[in-house]
Amino acid sequence: MRTESVVVRYLALRAAPFIQLYALYVLGHGEDGPGGGFQGGVIFSASFVLLALAHGWPFGRQQVNEKVADILAPTGALIFAGIGVLTMLAGGAFLEYGAFAKAGAEDPEAARLAAQHIGLIGIEAGVMITVAASMAILFFEMSRPPRESKGNDA
C-alpha cells in the first residue's frame, strides 16, 4: 500500500541513496568508533524498507533483485570465513590479520597494523553484505502482501 502523501514519496525516493551512502560511512567507522558491518548492513537495507513503505511493497521488491540477494547473503559470510582461511595460508592463526603484513617491511609494527586494518575492513565488508542481503530478504518475504490485496497494491 503506497502512501498518498507526495512529500513522503518524493523524500523517500531522494533519501534512499544517501541512506545507502551513510551505511558505507558507518561501515568505514566500525573499526575505531561506534558502527561496523552489522550496523552498516542494517542501515543499507533500511533504505529498501523506506522505499517499500512510501511506494508500496512491489516497488520496493523491484529494487532488490531476488536472485542477487540470494547470492549475496552467503557470499558475505564466505568473505569473512575466506579471510580467516587466507590468514592461515599466510602463516598466521585463524583471523590473525597481522599475517598479511609483508615480511621484509622496514617497520614491522606499522606493517602489522596496516595489515590488521585491511583484514578488519575486509571482514566488516563481508558482514555488511550478508546483513544487508538477509535483512532485505527477511523484510520482503515477511511483509509480502496477501494474494487478494495484490491488485490494490500495484
Partner 1 sequence: MIGEHLPVLVVVVPLITALLIPLLTRAWRGTGWGLVSASLAFSAFGAIQLLVEVLRTGVPARYSMGDWPIPAGIEYVVDELNGMVLVMIAVAGTLAALWMHQSVKREVLARARRSYYTVFLLFAAGLMGITITGDVFNLYVFLEIASITSYVLIAMGKRKQALYAGFAYLILGSLGATFILLGIGHLYMATGSLAMLDIAERMANDPALYSSSVVRTSFAFFTVGFAIKMALFPLHAWQPNAYTQAPSGATIFIAATATKVSAYGFYRILFTVFGPRFLLDELPQIKEAILLMCVAAIVVGPLLAIRQKDLKRLLAYSSVGQIGYIMLGVVLWSADQTHLDGATGGLMHFWNHAVAKGALFCVAGALVYKTGAARVADLAGMGRHAPWTSAVMTVAGLSMIGVPLTAGFWSKFYLCTGALEVGRPAAIVVLLVSSLLTAVYVWRLLSLVWFAPKDAEVKVDGEVPWSMRLPALVLGAACLYLFFQPIHLDIARAAAEGFMK
Instruction: Identify whether the C-beta of residue 72 lies closer than 8 Å to the C-beta of residue 128.
Output: no
Cβ neighbours of residue 38 closer than 8 Å, sequence gap 6 or more? 127, 128, 131
* Contacts to partner 1 from residues 92-151, by CB under 8 A: 92-98
Taking CB under 8 A as the binding criterion, the range among 17-25, 27-35, 44-52, 88-96 that sits at the site for partner 1 is 88-96
Report in angstroms how near the CB of residue 66 gets to partner 1 at its nearest. Answer: 13
**Which residues in the 19-78 window bind partner 1 by CB under 8 A?**
70-71, 73-75, 77-78
For position 10 contacting partner 1 by CB under 8 A, the verdict is: no
Nearer to partner 1, 51 or 133 (CB): 133
Tell me which H or E stretch contains 122: helix 108-142
Nearer to partner 1, 35 or 84 (CB): 84
Q: Considering only CA atoms, give the Rg of the chain.
A: 20
- Helix segments in 30-107, DSSP class H: 37-55, 57-63, 66-89
Place of cell 533500511: 46
List residues near partner 1 by CB under 8 A: 70-71, 73-75, 77-78, 81-82, 84-85, 87-88, 92-98
